[in-house]
Structure 1
Amino acid sequence: MLNHLGSLPESQIAHIQALDVGADELLLEFDDVMNTARAHRYEESLPEEDFKLLQKIDSAADAVASAGVDIWSEESLRRAPEWEALRKAARFTRCTLKESWDISDDPS
């Protein structure tokens, strides 16, 4: 999931087109991750540092969701600074968590 969220816009567009969904699906997929992370944090099975990294992505996702209706277009996915900030946060988190979470390079 972090692979898709942090990938280049054209890869994100290919992903949502393959699923036949809109750009909001990228945020919905991450929302599932955050819900699971909150549960694991509550159970103290997720380190606080890892959760804070995910919260940075969540904040960037909130900025995308708050940007208005035009943010959901493929053109916005390519060019909007909110999407780029989200991709950057996802890439940083993915790189940071790659070893401890055994994240593969496979974008699926």
Structure 2
Amino acid sequence: MSEDDLASFRRWILAVLDTIAADPLHQVRYLRDAGVGVDELLLELDDAVVTAQARWRDKLLLRHELNLIELVGAHVDAMTESSAPLWTEEALAETTEWRELRQLATDVRTELARSWLEVGSTTVLVDGTTIRTEADLHDLLAHRLNFGPHYAATLEALWRRLSSDLSRPVELVWRASTTSRRLLGAETFDRIRSVLTSVAARDARFTVRFE
């Protein structure tokens, strides 16, 4: 496996965990846009666990990294065996099982990112299929980058936070950006893109990539 392939595998694992760790509102929007049921949120995790086991056998994954991924898989297995009504949109927001799974996925993602990325760096993955309004993006970034309760949620405030209030380095990867441009409208998307790229142009320790 080439270095690019390994990097792609790691990004995929982090993206799978991001989907599981996302707040219920974003998860429901994702499911409705895709036209699938709640259980679909977890199907890709099964693939992630199997692939991670293969990477470990190929000596491309450390044992403790595999253990972390399998820990999330084991939690999901316990949920599928439960008799509780967990597979509705309401359950995503209301049940302890889903809250615990989100927290576990968040913790595992953080630990894996520390193992795989530059020490002290932060990578934020934006799923373009879930960003339907500017407010959706502000909510996501405020959560991922810990902007706190006083964040104004405007593009001006975003520029200020990204320019001066964050520990560096930070990488922002916006997946399905063409979908976002369609959902947001070209004008709104281009204004957001301009803010992000202007910060990146001023500081090499902040990078943004649109996929």
TM > 0.5 between the two? yes
Cα RMSD for the two superposed structures: 1.7
For 1:60-75, what aligned pairs fall within 5 Å after superposition? 60-68=75-83, 70-75=85-90
1:8 counterpart = 2:23: yes
Q: Which runs of 5+ in 2 are unaligned?
A: 1-15, 128-211
Matching residue of 1:106 = 125
CA-CA distance at 1:107 after TM superposition:
3.8
Identity of aligned residues (%): 31
Find 2:73's aligned residue among 51, 54, 58: 58
Q: What is the distance in 2 between the residues matched to 1:68 and 1:16?
A: 22
Find 1:33's aligned residue among 23, 36, 48: 48
Which protein has greater RCO, CA pairs closer than 8 Å, 6+ apart?
1
Matching residue of 2:58 = 43
Q: What is the distance in 1 between the residues matched to 2:17 and 2:116?
A: 11
Greater strand fraction, Structure 1 or Structure 2: 2
Q: Counterpart amino acid of 1:42?
A: R
Whether the 8 Å CA contact 1:3–1:107 is kept in 2: the answer is no
Which structure's CA Rg is the greater one? 2
Aligned residue pair count: 108
Using the size of structure 1 for normalisation, the TM-score is 0.89
Q: Which runs of 5+ in 1 are unaligned?
A: none
The ranges of structure 1 where at least 4 consecutive aligned residues each deviate by more than 6 angstroms after the TM superposition are none
